[in-house]
Structure 1
Amino acid sequence: MGFPGTWMTESESMVYRVVPKCACSTIGQIMFYSDHGRFYDGDIHDSTAGLHKWSQPDSQNPIENNVHAHKSLAFTCVRNPYARILSSFFDKIAGIQRNGKRYRGNLVPQLVQRYGIEVGSPEDGFEFDQIKSFRRFLLFARDTIRWRRPMEPDIHWSAMSGHISTFIVNGGRYDQIFFTEKFNEGMQKVLDAVETPVPVDLSAIPRFNESEGHGPKRAHKVSDYFDDLSRHLIWEIYKKDFQLFRYDFDNPDNKMPLGEVDIDEVHAKLGR
Structure 2
Amino acid sequence: MGFPGVWMTESESMVYRVVPKCACSSIGQIMFYSDHGRYFDGDIHDATEGLHKWAYERSQQPIENAVRNGQALSFTCVRNPYGRILSSFFDKIAGIQRNGNRYRGKLVPQLIQTYGIEVGSPEDGFDFDQINSFRRFLLFARDTIRWRRPMEPDIHWSAISGHVSTFITNGGHYDQIFFTETFNDGMRKVLAAAETPVQLDVEDVPRFNESEGHGPKRAHKISDYFDDLSRHLVWEMYHNDFKLFRYDFDDPDNKMPVGDIDLDEVHAKLGR
Give the TM interval when normalised to the shorter protein. Answer: over 0.9
Report the equivalent of 1:141.
141
Find the aligned partners of 1:19 and 1:252 in 2 and give their Cα distance. Answer: 21
SS state at 1:203 partner: helix
The 5 Å alignment of 1:1-272 reads 1-272=1-272
Shift of 1:229: 0.2
SS state at 2:105 partner: coil
TM-score between the two structures when normalised by the length of structure 1: 1.00
Query: Aligned residue pairs: how many?
Result: 272
Shift of 1:194: 1.0
Shift of 1:39: 0.4
- Give deviations 1:55-96, integer Å, cap 9, x for gaps: 011000000111111121100000000000000000000000
Root-mean-square deviation over aligned CA pairs: 0.4
Unaligned segments of structure 1, at least 5 residues: none
Shift of 1:203: 1.2
Find the aligned partners of 2:155 and 2:205 in 1 and give their Cα distance. Answer: 26
- Give deviations 1:150-183, integer Å, cap 9, x for gaps: 0000000000000000000000000000000000
Shift of 1:270: 0.1
Find the aligned partners of 2:194 and 2:165 in 1 and give their Cα distance. Answer: 23
SS state at 1:74 partner: strand
Find the aligned partners of 1:155 and 1:243 in 2 and give their Cα distance. Answer: 20
- Give deviations 1:118-147, integer Å, cap 9, x for gaps: 000000000000000000000000000000
Find the aligned partners of 2:241 and 2:146 in 1 and give their Cα distance. Answer: 16
SS state at 1:249 partner: coil
Task: Give the counterpart letter for 1:234 in structure 2.
Answer: V
Task: Give the counterpart letter for 1:250 in structure 2.
Answer: D
SS state at 1:237 partner: helix
Find the aligned partners of 2:38 and 2:144 in 1 and give their Cα distance. Answer: 39
Shift of 1:257: 0.1
Shift of 1:11: 0.1
Shift of 1:38: 0.5
Task: Give the counterpart letter for 2:190 in structure 1.
Answer: V
Shift of 1:244: 0.1
Task: Give the counterpart letter for 1:236 in structure 2.
Answer: E
TM-score between the two structures when normalised by the length of structure 2: 1.00
Shift of 1:32: 0.2
Identity of aligned residues (%): 81
Shift of 1:201: 1.4
Moved over 3 A (4+): none
